[in-house]
Amino acid sequence: MRVLTRMGITASVPLCVLALSLTVYGQGDPGSKPNNPAGPGRTPAPKVIYVDRPYERTVRVPVLPKTGELLVVAESGASLRLQYLKNDRVVKEYQGEGYTIGSGERSILFKNLPPGQYRVAADLDGYRPAASPPVTVKAGLPEKVELNLEQITYSVSIRLNAASGTLRYAKGGEVSRSVSFQNNSAVLSGLTGGDYTIKIIPDDPSYMPKDTTLRVSSNNQVSFDLDHLESRAFLGASSSDWALPRGWSFSSGKMVVRGSGMALPSDASYSHYKDFQLSTDVKMLNGVAASFAVHVVDPKNYYLVQITGPNADEPYVLRGFIYKNGVAQRFGRTIPTSQFSETLKPGKFFQVVLTMQGADITVKVRDSETGDLMKLGILPDPSQTFRIGAVGIVARESEQNEFSAFNICVSGCPNP
């Protein structure tokens, strides 16, 4: 039997009984007789060799691929459309289930594609649609297409009734971003569509911070109004105007202070003073101190301003304390006032004019007999620990006093 191998075809041929006849082109073995020896210009005659044993030969036949592969890289969640082209025209399109890039993934591999031209289009919510240029898929060769989807962003202009401050915003679980606003306006740019949480923190403490939400779906303008809490003028002329501590009383238009405590306006609308002027008449009954509570957040957080008399632990000084969570610490410097001892002596009325402007508390007194207005000093707090709050009367330990004509002015105040 003769075995031939041609055109890359592989065959496995068993020969079990007789001999294997192989056709060999050449001159034959040395010393053998040529069969049909070749002449000039002729092909040498084949020599037949006989093999006296069974013989099997296996030849592997390579299988040439008929299809190709296309790797598509795009954003996670993108829906793809695979378009088969002929003469740059779409003749077939594949889409639907199985053509969406999975969550947390960035690619899809399309296998077993017939050779030809393809184009890939992608859609994803919040992104502009994208399509690849035509790509030629060849049998047995991988190809790759990368789609850069452009995210759609918006710009939102915000108007506020507060002049300046900080605006923080975040979408879903994103890290919060912030922008400063000035002249009652802010601009948020580079926003993607969706719901944002907004926190507005004004510089002016008379405006309350605001938490709100903002739905972004286009370029637009929105407005937010913050609650404005700055209190109006207050005249504490009767007991009904005050929330008095135990042991304190009102008599003949005068508040009588005996022992420690704090008196604040009974109406909560008088709890938000930023810059103001307080004037009141004071008489130290036992010569310890006349004390005022300024920017009271609550009974444990406020400024304490004291004008001491001759019987105080520090006689005749102007001093200030910051009470934070009930713990007192000094602020400003302690200012001697002994030169005004005649005005501040026990049993005598004098007028106190206390002005809060920014971070400075200025204290003046007017002698009831001479009418002279004298500046005791200024107590500054550069850190502005308390920026807004109520104003009232406070007493520590054994202070005993009388107050009358208690008046808080917030704008257009007369010169003292």
Structure confidence at residue 316 (pLDDT): 98
pLDDT of 400 > 50? The answer is: yes
Of 97, 128, 146, the position where a domain reaches its end is 146
Of the residues 146, 173, 195, which one is the last residue of a structural domain?
146
End-to-end CA distance of the chain: 133
Same domain, 29 and 95: no
Q: Within this chain, do residues 279 and 357 fall inside the same structural domain, yes or no?
A: yes
Domain for residue 218, yes or no? yes
Give yes or no: residues 301 and 366 share one domain.
Answer: yes
Residue 3 located in a structural domain:
no
209 confidence band (pLDDT: 50, 70, 90):
very high
34: in domain: yes
Residues 17, 124, single domain; the answer is no
For position 166, what pLDDT does the model report? 97
Residue 385 and residue 259 share a domain: yes
For residue 400, the domain's CATH number is 2.60.120.560
d(CA 348, CA 366): 12
Domain match, 293 and 183 both: no
Counted residue by residue, the chain has a size of: 416
Of 113, 146, 179, which closes a domain?
A: 146
Least Cα distance to 209 among 224, 190, 223, 194 occurs for 224
The predicted-structure confidence for 305-347, as pLDDT tens digits, reads as follows 999 999 999 999 999 999 999 999 999 999 999 999 999 999 9
Does residue 1 fall inside a structural domain?
no
Q: What integer pLDDT is reported at residue 9 of this predicted model?
A: 38
Q: What is the pTM of this model?
A: 0.64
Q: What is the pLDDT of residue 99?
A: 93
What residues contact residue 342 under an 8 Å CB cut-off, 6+ apart? Answer: 367
**Shared domain check, 337 and 245:** yes
Chain CA centroid to CA 126, Å: 20
Question: What average pLDDT does the segment 254-273 reach?
Answer: 95
CA 313, chain centre distance (Å): 51
Domain that holds residue 31: 13-57
What is the spatial distance between Cα 53 and Cα 51, in angstroms, rounded to a whole number?
6
Measured at the CA of 17, the angle between CA 15 and CA 20, to 5 degrees, comes to 45
Interatomic CA distance for residues 68 and 111, integer angstroms: 6
User: Taking 70 as the threshold, does the pLDDT of residue 22 lie above it?
Assistant: no
CATH code at position 185: 2.60.40.10
Tell me: do 249 and 340 sit in the same domain. Answer: yes
259 and 361 in a single domain? The answer is: yes
Mean of the per-residue pLDDT values of the chain: 87
Over range 43-67, report the average pLDDT.
62
**89-94 vs 79-86, strand pairing mode:** antiparallel
Same-domain pairing of 161 and 202: yes
CA nearest neighbour of 388 among 165, 161, 208:
208
Residues 162 and 96 in one domain: no
Q: Is residue 6 part of a domain?
A: no
pLDDT bucket at 268, cuts 50 / 70 / 90: very high
Residue 19 has pLDDT above 80, yes or no: no
Predicted confidence (pLDDT) per residue in 367-393, tens digit: 988 899 999 999 999 999 999 999 999
> Region 250-268: what's the mean pLDDT?
94
pLDDT per residue over 91-136, tens digit each? 999 988 889 999 999 999 999 999 999 999 999 999 999 999 999 9
Instruction: Evaluate whether residue 244 is within a structural domain.
Output: yes
- Which pLDDT does position 56 carry in this prediction? 64
Residue 414 lies in a domain: no
Q: Are residues 141 and 162 in the same domain?
A: no
Whether 62 maps to a domain, the answer reads no
What does the block give as tokens for 315? 């006689």
Number of domains in the chain: 4
